[in-house]
Structure 1
Protein backbone atom coordinates (compact mmCIF):
# COMPACT_ATOMS: atom_id res chain seq x y z
CA UNK A 1 0.00 0.00 0.00
CA UNK A 2 1.38 3.35 -1.02
CA UNK A 3 2.04 5.90 1.72
CA UNK A 4 0.99 9.51 1.30
CA UNK A 5 3.93 11.83 1.26
CA UNK A 6 4.32 14.31 4.12
CA UNK A 7 4.06 17.25 1.78
CA UNK A 8 0.64 16.08 0.61
CA UNK A 9 -0.49 15.56 4.19
CA UNK A 10 0.47 19.09 5.15
CA UNK A 11 -1.32 20.43 2.09
CA UNK A 12 -4.44 18.45 3.03
CA UNK A 13 -4.31 19.73 6.58
CA UNK A 14 -4.04 23.27 5.24
CA UNK A 15 -7.16 22.81 3.09
CA UNK A 16 -9.09 21.08 5.84
CA UNK A 17 -7.98 22.62 9.12
CA UNK A 18 -8.96 20.86 12.32
CA UNK A 19 -12.15 21.97 14.01
CA UNK A 20 -11.57 24.74 16.56
CA UNK A 21 -13.81 24.50 19.55
CA UNK A 22 -15.57 27.76 20.38
CA UNK A 23 -15.32 28.93 23.91
CA UNK A 24 -18.58 29.46 25.67
CA UNK A 25 -19.53 33.06 26.17
CA UNK A 26 -20.09 33.91 29.77
CA UNK A 27 -22.93 36.14 30.75
CA UNK A 28 -20.51 38.14 32.91
CA UNK A 29 -18.74 39.46 29.77
CA UNK A 30 -21.15 41.62 27.76
CA UNK A 31 -20.77 41.68 24.04
CA UNK A 32 -19.65 44.72 22.05
CA UNK A 33 -23.11 45.22 20.79
CA UNK A 34 -24.46 45.42 24.32
CA UNK A 35 -21.74 47.89 25.49
CA UNK A 36 -22.14 50.33 22.61
CA UNK A 37 -25.88 50.37 22.45
CA UNK A 38 -27.08 54.05 22.55
CA UNK A 39 -30.21 55.67 21.39
CA UNK A 40 -30.18 58.26 18.64
CA UNK A 41 -31.25 60.96 21.07
CA UNK A 42 -28.30 60.27 23.39
CA UNK A 43 -25.88 60.24 20.47
CA UNK A 44 -27.22 63.58 19.22
CA UNK A 45 -26.92 65.23 22.66
CA UNK A 46 -23.39 63.94 23.23
CA UNK A 47 -22.19 64.97 19.77
CA UNK A 48 -23.61 68.47 20.22
CA UNK A 49 -21.89 68.79 23.60
CA UNK A 50 -18.57 67.70 22.12
CA UNK A 51 -18.91 70.21 19.30
CA UNK A 52 -19.65 73.01 21.77
CA UNK A 53 -16.61 72.11 23.86
CA UNK A 54 -14.42 71.94 20.76
CA UNK A 55 -15.54 75.31 19.42
CA UNK A 56 -15.26 76.88 22.86
CA UNK A 57 -11.67 75.70 23.33
CA UNK A 58 -10.72 77.01 19.88
CA UNK A 59 -12.33 80.41 20.30
CA UNK A 60 -11.16 81.04 23.89
CA UNK A 61 -7.45 81.42 23.16
CA UNK A 62 -7.85 83.91 20.29
CA UNK A 63 -10.19 85.94 22.47
CA UNK A 64 -7.64 86.02 25.28
CA UNK A 65 -4.85 86.83 22.81
CA UNK A 66 -6.86 89.66 21.30
CA UNK A 67 -7.37 91.14 24.78
CA UNK A 68 -3.64 90.93 25.50
CA UNK A 69 -2.79 92.49 22.16
CA UNK A 70 -5.31 95.26 22.76
CA UNK A 71 -3.81 96.01 26.18
CA UNK A 72 -0.29 96.03 24.73
CA UNK A 73 -1.34 98.30 21.86
CA UNK A 74 -3.06 100.64 24.31
CA UNK A 75 0.08 100.84 26.45
CA UNK A 76 2.22 101.48 23.36
CA UNK A 77 -0.12 104.24 22.17
CA UNK A 78 -0.07 105.87 25.61
CA UNK A 79 3.73 105.74 25.72
CA UNK A 80 3.98 107.21 22.23
CA UNK A 81 1.62 110.05 23.12
CA UNK A 82 3.64 110.83 26.26
CA UNK A 83 6.87 110.93 24.23
CA UNK A 84 5.25 113.16 21.63
CA UNK A 85 4.01 115.56 24.30
CA UNK A 86 7.47 115.61 25.90
CA UNK A 87 9.13 116.28 22.55
CA UNK A 88 6.65 119.04 21.79
CA UNK A 89 7.29 120.65 25.17
CA UNK A 90 11.05 120.45 24.63
CA UNK A 91 10.78 121.81 21.10
CA UNK A 92 8.51 124.64 22.21
CA UNK A 93 10.89 125.56 25.04
CA UNK A 94 13.79 125.68 22.56
CA UNK A 95 11.97 127.68 19.89
CA UNK A 96 9.72 129.98 21.91
CA UNK A 97 12.26 131.86 24.03
CA UNK A 98 11.60 135.05 25.94
CA UNK A 99 13.50 138.24 25.11
CA UNK A 100 15.06 140.12 28.01
CA UNK A 101 17.26 142.73 26.31
CA UNK A 102 17.68 144.53 23.01
CA UNK A 103 20.90 145.62 21.32
CA UNK A 104 21.69 147.50 18.12
CA UNK A 105 24.47 147.32 15.53
CA UNK A 106 25.02 150.11 13.00
CA UNK A 107 26.66 148.76 9.84
CA UNK A 108 28.64 150.40 7.05
CA UNK A 109 30.14 148.95 3.86
CA UNK A 110 33.22 150.71 2.53
CA UNK A 111 32.39 153.71 4.70
CA UNK A 112 28.78 153.98 3.51
CA UNK A 113 26.07 153.43 6.17
CA UNK A 114 23.65 150.67 5.17
CA UNK A 115 21.37 150.52 8.20
CA UNK A 116 20.84 149.29 11.74
CA UNK A 117 20.31 145.76 13.05
CA UNK A 118 18.27 145.40 16.24
CA UNK A 119 18.85 142.17 18.15
CA UNK A 120 16.65 140.66 20.88
CA UNK A 121 18.59 138.65 23.49
CA UNK A 122 17.52 135.48 25.36
CA UNK A 123 18.76 136.34 28.84
CA UNK A 124 16.83 133.53 30.56
CA UNK A 125 17.83 130.76 28.16
CA UNK A 126 21.50 131.65 27.58
CA UNK A 127 22.53 133.85 30.52
CA UNK A 128 26.29 133.44 30.08
CA UNK A 129 26.21 134.10 26.35
CA UNK A 130 23.87 137.07 26.67
CA UNK A 131 25.98 138.58 29.46
CA UNK A 132 29.13 138.28 27.32
CA UNK A 133 27.46 139.75 24.23
CA UNK A 134 25.85 142.57 26.23
CA UNK A 135 29.10 143.54 27.94
CA UNK A 136 30.92 143.82 24.62
CA UNK A 137 28.09 145.58 22.79
CA UNK A 138 27.68 148.15 25.55
CA UNK A 139 31.42 148.59 26.05
CA UNK A 140 31.13 147.99 29.79
CA UNK A 141 33.86 145.35 29.58
CA UNK A 142 36.33 147.95 28.28
CA UNK A 143 36.19 146.45 24.79
CA UNK A 144 33.53 146.75 22.11
CA UNK A 145 32.43 145.58 18.67
CA UNK A 146 32.65 149.18 17.56
CA UNK A 147 34.93 149.66 14.52
CA UNK A 148 35.41 145.90 14.22
CA UNK A 149 34.88 144.10 10.91
CA UNK A 150 32.90 141.17 9.58
CA UNK A 151 35.50 138.62 8.51
CA UNK A 152 33.49 135.87 6.80
CA UNK A 153 30.45 135.89 4.53
CA UNK A 154 28.87 132.54 3.79
CA UNK A 155 25.73 131.77 1.74
CA UNK A 156 23.66 131.23 4.89
CA UNK A 157 25.32 133.46 7.51
CA UNK A 158 27.75 136.33 8.13
CA UNK A 159 30.44 136.25 10.82
CA UNK A 160 31.91 139.10 12.81
CA UNK A 161 35.56 138.90 13.84
CA UNK A 162 34.90 139.88 17.44
CA UNK A 163 37.71 141.09 19.67
CA UNK A 164 41.23 140.25 18.58
CA UNK A 165 43.16 137.64 20.55
CA UNK A 166 46.27 139.84 20.59
CA UNK A 167 47.22 143.46 21.18
CA UNK A 168 45.39 146.01 23.31
CA UNK A 169 42.00 144.31 22.94
CA UNK A 170 43.38 141.02 24.23
CA UNK A 171 45.00 142.71 27.23
CA UNK A 172 41.78 144.53 28.08
CA UNK A 173 39.72 141.37 27.66
CA UNK A 174 42.10 139.51 29.94
CA UNK A 175 41.81 142.18 32.62
CA UNK A 176 38.02 142.25 32.54
CA UNK A 177 37.73 138.45 32.48
CA UNK A 178 35.96 138.21 29.12
CA UNK A 179 38.32 135.55 27.78
CA UNK A 180 37.93 133.44 30.92
CA UNK A 181 34.24 132.89 30.12
CA UNK A 182 34.96 130.74 27.05
CA UNK A 183 34.74 127.53 29.08
CA UNK A 184 31.45 128.69 30.58
CA UNK A 185 30.14 129.41 27.09
CA UNK A 186 31.07 125.90 25.98
CA UNK A 187 29.31 124.42 29.01
CA UNK A 188 26.19 126.44 28.24
CA UNK A 189 26.33 125.30 24.61
CA UNK A 190 26.57 121.66 25.76
CA UNK A 191 23.55 122.08 28.04
CA UNK A 192 21.58 123.63 25.20
CA UNK A 193 22.51 120.73 22.91
CA UNK A 194 21.42 118.21 25.53
CA UNK A 195 18.19 120.05 26.23
CA UNK A 196 17.05 120.70 22.67
CA UNK A 197 18.47 117.55 21.06
CA UNK A 198 18.14 117.15 17.31
CA UNK A 199 16.91 119.92 15.08
CA UNK A 200 18.34 123.16 13.77
CA UNK A 201 19.03 125.76 16.45
CA UNK A 202 20.55 128.46 14.24
CA UNK A 203 17.44 129.37 12.30
CA UNK A 204 17.14 132.31 9.93
CA UNK A 205 17.63 135.52 11.90
CA UNK A 206 19.46 133.87 14.80
CA UNK A 207 22.38 135.64 16.47
CA UNK A 208 24.99 133.31 17.99
CA UNK A 209 28.39 133.45 19.67
CA UNK A 210 31.08 131.17 18.26
CA UNK A 211 32.26 129.07 21.21
CA UNK A 212 34.23 126.25 19.57
CA UNK A 213 35.85 125.19 16.31
CA UNK A 214 35.00 121.56 15.43
CA UNK A 215 37.29 121.67 12.37
CA UNK A 216 40.36 122.62 14.37
CA UNK A 217 43.09 119.97 13.89
CA UNK A 218 44.55 118.19 16.92
CA UNK A 219 47.80 119.44 18.49
CA UNK A 220 50.93 118.68 16.51
CA UNK A 221 53.58 116.52 18.22
CA UNK A 222 57.19 117.68 18.08
CA UNK A 223 60.52 116.92 19.76
CA UNK A 224 61.84 119.59 22.13
CA UNK A 225 65.20 119.66 23.92
CA UNK A 226 64.85 120.48 27.60
CA UNK A 227 67.79 120.31 30.01
CA UNK A 228 69.77 118.13 27.66
CA UNK A 229 66.90 115.69 27.09
CA UNK A 230 64.54 115.24 24.17
CA UNK A 231 60.89 115.42 25.12
CA UNK A 232 57.69 115.18 23.13
CA UNK A 233 55.67 118.38 23.23
CA UNK A 234 52.33 119.40 21.74
CA UNK A 235 52.01 122.46 19.54
CA UNK A 236 48.57 123.94 19.05
CA UNK A 237 47.64 124.40 15.41
CA UNK A 238 45.54 127.49 14.87
CA UNK A 239 43.70 129.42 17.54
CA UNK A 240 40.49 128.47 19.29
CA UNK A 241 37.60 130.96 19.40
CA UNK A 242 37.93 133.50 22.21
CA UNK A 243 34.18 133.74 22.83
CA UNK A 244 33.69 137.18 21.25
CA UNK A 245 33.00 136.33 17.59
CA UNK A 246 29.34 136.23 16.61
CA UNK A 247 27.35 135.15 13.57
CA UNK A 248 24.01 136.24 12.12
CA UNK A 249 22.12 133.66 10.07
CA UNK A 250 20.19 134.92 7.05
CA UNK A 251 18.99 131.35 6.37
CA UNK A 252 18.59 128.22 8.45
CA UNK A 253 22.18 127.19 9.22
CA UNK A 254 22.43 123.71 10.79
CA UNK A 255 26.19 123.75 10.14
CA UNK A 256 26.51 126.36 12.92
CA UNK A 257 24.91 124.15 15.56
CA UNK A 258 28.22 122.38 16.22
CA UNK A 259 30.09 125.59 17.00
CA UNK A 260 27.76 128.48 17.91
CA UNK A 261 25.57 129.24 20.93
CA UNK A 262 22.31 131.02 20.09
CA UNK A 263 21.92 134.15 22.23
CA UNK A 264 19.25 136.10 20.35
CA UNK A 265 17.50 136.89 17.10
CA UNK A 266 17.19 139.80 14.69
CA UNK A 267 14.09 141.87 15.40
CA UNK A 268 14.69 144.53 12.76
CA UNK A 269 17.19 144.97 9.96
CA UNK A 270 17.26 141.62 8.17
CA UNK A 271 17.60 143.58 4.93
CA UNK A 272 20.93 144.86 6.27
CA UNK A 273 22.08 141.29 6.92
CA UNK A 274 21.09 140.33 3.38
CA UNK A 275 22.98 143.35 2.06
CA UNK A 276 26.11 142.14 3.86
CA UNK A 277 25.61 138.69 2.38
CA UNK A 278 25.76 140.14 -1.13
CA UNK A 279 29.31 141.46 -0.73
CA UNK A 280 31.90 139.74 -2.96
CA UNK A 281 34.29 137.40 -1.12
CA UNK A 282 37.46 135.37 -1.64
CA UNK A 283 36.60 132.01 -3.16
CA UNK A 284 37.36 128.82 -1.29
CA UNK A 285 40.08 126.43 -2.39
CA UNK A 286 39.34 123.58 -0.01
CA UNK A 287 38.96 121.08 -2.86
CA UNK A 288 42.64 121.36 -3.77
CA UNK A 289 44.56 118.17 -2.86
CA UNK A 290 47.54 120.28 -1.75
CA UNK A 291 45.36 122.18 0.71
CA UNK A 292 43.82 118.97 2.04
CA UNK A 293 47.22 117.40 2.71
CA UNK A 294 48.53 120.59 4.32
CA UNK A 295 45.45 120.84 6.54
CA UNK A 296 45.73 117.17 7.48
CA UNK A 297 49.35 117.43 8.63
CA UNK A 298 48.67 120.72 10.43
CA UNK A 299 50.65 123.00 8.14
CA UNK A 300 50.34 126.59 9.39
CA UNK A 301 50.18 127.90 5.84
CA UNK A 302 46.95 125.98 5.31
CA UNK A 303 45.51 127.50 8.48
CA UNK A 304 46.43 131.01 7.35
CA UNK A 305 45.04 130.39 3.87
CA UNK A 306 41.80 129.05 5.29
CA UNK A 307 41.27 132.25 7.24
CA UNK A 308 41.20 134.15 3.98
CA UNK A 309 38.47 132.01 2.41
CA UNK A 310 35.07 133.76 2.14
CA UNK A 311 36.59 136.99 3.42
CA UNK A 312 34.82 140.07 2.01
CA UNK A 313 36.67 142.27 -0.45
CA UNK A 314 34.78 145.28 0.92
CA UNK A 315 35.20 146.57 4.44
CA UNK A 316 32.06 145.72 6.44
CA UNK A 317 32.28 147.43 9.84
CA UNK A 318 30.15 147.92 12.95
CA UNK A 319 30.32 151.71 13.24
CA UNK A 320 28.34 151.90 16.46
CA UNK A 321 26.65 149.50 18.89
CA UNK A 322 25.01 149.43 22.28
CA UNK A 323 22.01 148.34 24.35
CA UNK A 324 18.52 149.76 23.93
CA UNK A 325 16.30 150.66 26.85
Structure 2
Protein backbone atom coordinates (compact mmCIF):
# COMPACT_ATOMS: atom_id res chain seq x y z
CA UNK A 1 0.00 0.00 0.00
CA UNK A 2 1.27 3.46 -0.95
CA UNK A 3 0.79 6.08 1.75
CA UNK A 4 0.50 9.65 0.41
CA UNK A 5 2.27 12.20 2.53
CA UNK A 6 0.54 15.55 3.21
CA UNK A 7 1.63 18.41 0.95
CA UNK A 8 4.72 20.23 2.12
CA UNK A 9 5.08 23.99 2.62
CA UNK A 10 7.03 24.05 -0.60
CA UNK A 11 4.03 22.63 -2.44
CA UNK A 12 1.79 25.40 -1.05
CA UNK A 13 4.33 28.10 -1.91
CA UNK A 14 4.80 26.76 -5.43
CA UNK A 15 1.06 26.59 -5.96
CA UNK A 16 0.63 30.14 -4.74
CA UNK A 17 3.48 31.30 -6.97
CA UNK A 18 1.91 29.61 -10.00
CA UNK A 19 -1.45 31.23 -9.22
CA UNK A 20 0.21 34.65 -8.97
CA UNK A 21 2.00 34.12 -12.28
CA UNK A 22 -1.26 33.05 -13.94
CA UNK A 23 -3.06 36.13 -12.61
CA UNK A 24 -0.25 38.38 -13.85
CA UNK A 25 -0.34 36.78 -17.29
CA UNK A 26 -4.12 37.20 -17.48
CA UNK A 27 -3.82 40.87 -16.53
CA UNK A 28 -1.12 41.44 -19.16
CA UNK A 29 -3.24 39.70 -21.77
CA UNK A 30 -6.25 41.88 -21.04
CA UNK A 31 -4.04 44.98 -21.18
CA UNK A 32 -2.72 43.98 -24.61
CA UNK A 33 -6.25 43.29 -25.83
CA UNK A 34 -7.38 46.69 -24.61
CA UNK A 35 -4.46 48.40 -26.37
CA UNK A 36 -5.35 46.59 -29.60
CA UNK A 37 -8.89 47.98 -29.46
CA UNK A 38 -9.18 51.58 -30.74
CA UNK A 39 -9.62 54.06 -27.93
CA UNK A 40 -12.67 56.10 -28.81
CA UNK A 41 -11.40 58.82 -26.49
CA UNK A 42 -8.94 59.55 -29.32
CA UNK A 43 -11.63 59.75 -32.02
CA UNK A 44 -12.98 63.16 -32.99
CA UNK A 45 -15.43 63.22 -35.90
CA UNK A 46 -16.31 66.90 -35.56
CA UNK A 47 -16.83 68.52 -38.98
CA UNK A 48 -14.30 71.33 -39.17
CA UNK A 49 -14.39 72.07 -42.91
CA UNK A 50 -16.48 71.29 -45.99
CA UNK A 51 -15.57 70.83 -49.63
CA UNK A 52 -17.86 70.38 -52.62
CA UNK A 53 -17.63 68.59 -55.94
CA UNK A 54 -19.98 69.44 -58.80
CA UNK A 55 -20.20 66.36 -61.02
CA UNK A 56 -21.19 65.77 -64.63
CA UNK A 57 -21.66 62.71 -66.82
CA UNK A 58 -19.80 62.86 -70.13
CA UNK A 59 -21.86 61.89 -73.16
CA UNK A 60 -18.89 60.38 -75.02
CA UNK A 61 -17.86 56.86 -74.03
CA UNK A 62 -14.51 55.79 -72.71
CA UNK A 63 -12.45 53.35 -74.74
CA UNK A 64 -10.79 50.45 -72.91
CA UNK A 65 -7.49 50.79 -74.75
CA UNK A 66 -6.97 54.52 -74.76
CA UNK A 67 -6.33 56.74 -71.77
CA UNK A 68 -9.17 58.36 -69.88
CA UNK A 69 -10.85 60.75 -72.33
CA UNK A 70 -12.73 63.50 -70.60
CA UNK A 71 -15.09 66.25 -71.64
CA UNK A 72 -15.70 69.88 -70.85
CA UNK A 73 -18.24 71.22 -68.40
CA UNK A 74 -20.49 72.31 -71.28
CA UNK A 75 -20.39 68.83 -72.84
CA UNK A 76 -21.40 67.00 -69.68
CA UNK A 77 -24.81 66.27 -68.22
CA UNK A 78 -25.01 67.70 -64.66
CA UNK A 79 -25.34 65.06 -61.95
CA UNK A 80 -25.39 67.41 -58.97
CA UNK A 81 -23.23 68.43 -56.04
CA UNK A 82 -21.54 66.22 -53.45
CA UNK A 83 -20.55 67.93 -50.19
CA UNK A 84 -17.99 66.29 -47.92
CA UNK A 85 -17.46 67.16 -44.26
CA UNK A 86 -13.83 66.91 -43.14
CA UNK A 87 -12.52 65.65 -39.78
CA UNK A 88 -9.92 68.34 -39.26
CA UNK A 89 -9.32 67.56 -35.59
CA UNK A 90 -8.71 63.87 -36.26
CA UNK A 91 -6.55 64.14 -39.40
CA UNK A 92 -5.47 67.79 -39.75
CA UNK A 93 -2.82 67.29 -42.44
CA UNK A 94 -5.08 65.20 -44.67
CA UNK A 95 -7.83 67.80 -44.25
CA UNK A 96 -5.48 70.58 -45.40
CA UNK A 97 -4.40 68.43 -48.36
CA UNK A 98 -7.98 67.79 -49.54
CA UNK A 99 -8.94 71.45 -49.10
CA UNK A 100 -5.87 72.57 -51.06
CA UNK A 101 -6.71 70.20 -53.91
CA UNK A 102 -10.36 71.28 -53.95
CA UNK A 103 -9.50 74.99 -54.04
CA UNK A 104 -6.43 74.74 -56.28
CA UNK A 105 -4.10 76.05 -53.56
CA UNK A 106 -1.98 72.91 -54.02
CA UNK A 107 -0.81 74.06 -57.46
CA UNK A 108 -3.12 71.37 -58.82
CA UNK A 109 -6.83 70.60 -58.52
CA UNK A 110 -9.46 67.90 -58.80
CA UNK A 111 -11.39 70.14 -61.20
CA UNK A 112 -11.54 68.72 -64.72
CA UNK A 113 -10.60 65.20 -63.58
CA UNK A 114 -12.67 62.03 -63.50
CA UNK A 115 -13.68 59.26 -61.13
CA UNK A 116 -11.41 56.64 -62.65
CA UNK A 117 -12.62 53.56 -60.77
CA UNK A 118 -16.01 52.23 -59.67
CA UNK A 119 -16.05 49.03 -57.61
CA UNK A 120 -19.74 48.21 -57.38
CA UNK A 121 -20.91 47.48 -53.87
CA UNK A 122 -17.74 48.98 -52.36
CA UNK A 123 -16.45 52.40 -53.44
CA UNK A 124 -15.83 54.98 -56.17
CA UNK A 125 -12.34 56.43 -56.57
CA UNK A 126 -10.83 59.69 -57.88
CA UNK A 127 -7.55 61.61 -57.83
CA UNK A 128 -5.42 59.37 -60.08
CA UNK A 129 -2.32 61.33 -61.09
CA UNK A 130 -1.09 61.66 -64.65
CA UNK A 131 -2.13 63.68 -67.68
CA UNK A 132 -4.79 66.36 -67.37
CA UNK A 133 -5.75 65.67 -70.99
CA UNK A 134 -6.84 62.18 -69.88
CA UNK A 135 -8.89 63.48 -66.99
CA UNK A 136 -6.16 62.74 -64.46
CA UNK A 137 -4.80 64.97 -61.69
CA UNK A 138 -1.67 66.94 -62.47
CA UNK A 139 0.94 65.99 -59.83
CA UNK A 140 0.74 68.66 -57.12
CA UNK A 141 3.84 70.71 -56.40
CA UNK A 142 5.70 70.16 -53.11
CA UNK A 143 6.13 73.96 -53.03
CA UNK A 144 2.40 74.25 -52.34
CA UNK A 145 1.56 70.93 -50.72
CA UNK A 146 3.42 69.59 -47.68
CA UNK A 147 4.13 65.93 -47.08
CA UNK A 148 1.43 64.20 -45.04
CA UNK A 149 2.51 62.93 -41.59
CA UNK A 150 -1.00 61.55 -41.01
CA UNK A 151 0.04 58.54 -43.11
CA UNK A 152 2.35 57.33 -40.32
CA UNK A 153 0.27 58.36 -37.31
CA UNK A 154 -1.61 55.52 -35.53
CA UNK A 155 -4.39 57.97 -34.66
CA UNK A 156 -5.17 58.41 -38.35
CA UNK A 157 -6.32 54.79 -38.65
CA UNK A 158 -8.82 54.69 -35.78
CA UNK A 159 -11.87 55.59 -37.88
CA UNK A 160 -13.68 52.82 -39.75
CA UNK A 161 -15.38 52.44 -43.12
CA UNK A 162 -18.57 51.62 -41.28
CA UNK A 163 -21.24 53.08 -43.57
CA UNK A 164 -21.90 54.36 -47.09
CA UNK A 165 -20.52 57.84 -47.71
CA UNK A 166 -17.30 57.32 -45.77
CA UNK A 167 -14.48 59.23 -47.48
CA UNK A 168 -10.85 58.17 -47.15
CA UNK A 169 -7.39 58.83 -48.52
CA UNK A 170 -6.28 55.84 -50.59
CA UNK A 171 -3.17 54.13 -49.28
CA UNK A 172 -3.55 50.39 -49.90
CA UNK A 173 -6.05 51.12 -52.71
CA UNK A 174 -3.84 53.75 -54.34
CA UNK A 175 -3.26 52.88 -58.00
CA UNK A 176 -1.03 55.74 -59.16
CA UNK A 177 1.64 54.56 -61.59
CA UNK A 178 4.83 53.37 -59.91
CA UNK A 179 6.91 55.90 -61.83
CA UNK A 180 4.87 58.69 -60.20
CA UNK A 181 4.88 57.19 -56.69
CA UNK A 182 8.67 56.79 -56.74
CA UNK A 183 9.19 60.51 -57.29
CA UNK A 184 10.61 61.97 -54.02
CA UNK A 185 8.20 64.91 -54.40
CA UNK A 186 5.16 62.64 -54.75
CA UNK A 187 2.03 63.74 -52.87
CA UNK A 188 -0.80 61.23 -52.62
CA UNK A 189 -4.18 62.86 -53.31
CA UNK A 190 -6.31 59.84 -54.27
CA UNK A 191 -9.55 59.42 -52.37
CA UNK A 192 -12.50 57.07 -52.36
CA UNK A 193 -16.11 57.21 -51.21
CA UNK A 194 -17.72 54.02 -49.95
CA UNK A 195 -21.04 53.21 -51.59
CA UNK A 196 -22.48 50.48 -49.39
CA UNK A 197 -24.87 48.88 -48.95
CA UNK A 198 -22.91 47.72 -45.91
CA UNK A 199 -19.61 48.52 -44.16
CA UNK A 200 -16.24 47.81 -45.80
CA UNK A 201 -14.03 46.48 -42.98
CA UNK A 202 -11.39 45.26 -45.44
CA UNK A 203 -10.53 48.93 -46.06
CA UNK A 204 -9.93 49.64 -42.35
CA UNK A 205 -6.38 50.17 -41.04
CA UNK A 206 -5.17 50.42 -44.65
CA UNK A 207 -6.61 53.79 -45.70
CA UNK A 208 -7.20 57.05 -43.82
CA UNK A 209 -10.82 58.03 -43.18
CA UNK A 210 -10.97 61.84 -43.31
CA UNK A 211 -14.62 62.71 -43.79
CA UNK A 212 -18.18 61.82 -44.68
CA UNK A 213 -20.69 62.75 -47.38
CA UNK A 214 -23.07 65.40 -46.03
CA UNK A 215 -24.97 66.01 -49.25
CA UNK A 216 -25.33 64.01 -52.46
CA UNK A 217 -25.15 60.41 -51.25
CA UNK A 218 -27.81 59.66 -53.88
CA UNK A 219 -25.38 60.91 -56.55
CA UNK A 220 -22.65 58.64 -55.17
CA UNK A 221 -25.10 55.72 -55.35
CA UNK A 222 -25.98 56.54 -58.97
CA UNK A 223 -22.29 56.57 -59.95
CA UNK A 224 -21.79 53.24 -58.18
CA UNK A 225 -24.52 51.72 -60.36
CA UNK A 226 -23.01 52.84 -63.67
CA UNK A 227 -21.68 50.22 -66.11
CA UNK A 228 -17.91 49.76 -66.09
CA UNK A 229 -15.25 47.91 -68.05
CA UNK A 230 -14.90 44.54 -66.30
CA UNK A 231 -12.27 42.00 -67.34
CA UNK A 232 -13.34 38.41 -67.94
CA UNK A 233 -11.70 35.59 -65.98
CA UNK A 234 -9.69 34.62 -69.04
CA UNK A 235 -8.41 38.19 -69.52
CA UNK A 236 -7.42 38.27 -65.85
CA UNK A 237 -5.44 35.04 -66.23
CA UNK A 238 -3.56 36.31 -69.27
CA UNK A 239 -2.91 39.63 -67.54
CA UNK A 240 -1.51 37.91 -64.44
CA UNK A 241 0.88 35.88 -66.59
CA UNK A 242 1.95 38.99 -68.50
CA UNK A 243 2.57 40.83 -65.24
CA UNK A 244 4.73 38.00 -63.90
CA UNK A 245 6.73 38.12 -67.14
CA UNK A 246 7.25 41.86 -66.69
CA UNK A 247 5.19 42.90 -69.70
CA UNK A 248 4.38 46.61 -69.23
CA UNK A 249 1.22 46.16 -71.27
CA UNK A 250 -0.25 44.27 -68.31
CA UNK A 251 -0.34 47.35 -66.08
CA UNK A 252 -1.59 49.49 -68.96
CA UNK A 253 -4.48 47.09 -69.46
CA UNK A 254 -5.26 47.04 -65.75
CA UNK A 255 -5.63 50.83 -65.74
CA UNK A 256 -8.82 50.49 -67.78
CA UNK A 257 -10.45 47.94 -65.47
CA UNK A 258 -13.51 49.17 -63.56
CA UNK A 259 -13.57 52.55 -65.32
CA UNK A 260 -17.08 53.85 -65.97
CA UNK A 261 -18.07 53.40 -69.61
CA UNK A 262 -19.03 57.08 -69.60
CA UNK A 263 -16.63 59.30 -67.64
CA UNK A 264 -17.86 61.02 -64.49
CA UNK A 265 -16.26 64.48 -64.49
CA UNK A 266 -15.57 66.80 -61.57
CA UNK A 267 -16.69 69.97 -63.35
CA UNK A 268 -15.85 72.27 -60.43
CA UNK A 269 -14.89 72.01 -56.77
CA UNK A 270 -13.91 74.15 -53.84
CA UNK A 271 -14.41 74.89 -50.16
CA UNK A 272 -17.99 75.33 -49.03
CA UNK A 273 -18.24 78.20 -46.56
CA UNK A 274 -21.21 78.28 -44.22
TM-score, normalising length: structure 1? 0.61
Change (3 A) 1:94 1:321: farther
Point out the structure with max Rg over C-alpha: 1
Q: 1:247 to 1:108 in 2, by over 3 A?
A: same
2:167 corresponds in structure 1 to 207
Alignment correspondent of 1:276: 223
Following TM superposition, by how much is the alpha carbon of 1:105 offset from its aligned partner in structure 2, in angstroms? 2.0
CA displacement, residues 225-251 of structure 1 (integer Å, 9 cap, x when unaligned): xxxxxxxxxxx9654375232211224
Higher helix share: 1
1:247 maps to 192
Q: 1: distance between equivalents of 2:247 and 2:203?
A: 25
**Is 1:174 equivalent to 2:122 in the alignment?**
no
How many residues are treated as equivalent by the alignment?
243
1:124 corresponding residue in structure 2: 89
- Partner of 1:160 in structure 2? 126
Q: Could you list the per-position Cα deviations for residues 270-309 of structure 1 after superposition, in whole angstroms to 9, with x for gaps in the alignment? A: 2222211100000124753331222223322222211111
Structure with larger RCO (C-alpha < 8 A, sep 6+): 2
Q: Take 2:34 and 2:137, find their aligned partners in 1: how far apart are those partners?
A: 48
- Per the alignment, do residues 81 and 302 of structure 1 end up closer, same or farther by CA in structure 2, a change over 3 Å counting? closer
| Corresponding residue number in structure 1 for 2:256 | 308
1:137 has 2:137 as partner: no
**Contact residue 159 and residue 246 of structure 1 kept, 8 A:** yes
Q: Which runs of 5+ in 1 are unaligned?
A: 1-50, 217-235
- Cα deviation per residue 1:82-135 (whole Å; 9 max; x = unaligned)? 3344334x3425655443212222223343333332212122332322211101
* Ranges in structure 2 where 5+ consecutive residues have no aligned partner: 59-75
SS at match of 1:280: coil
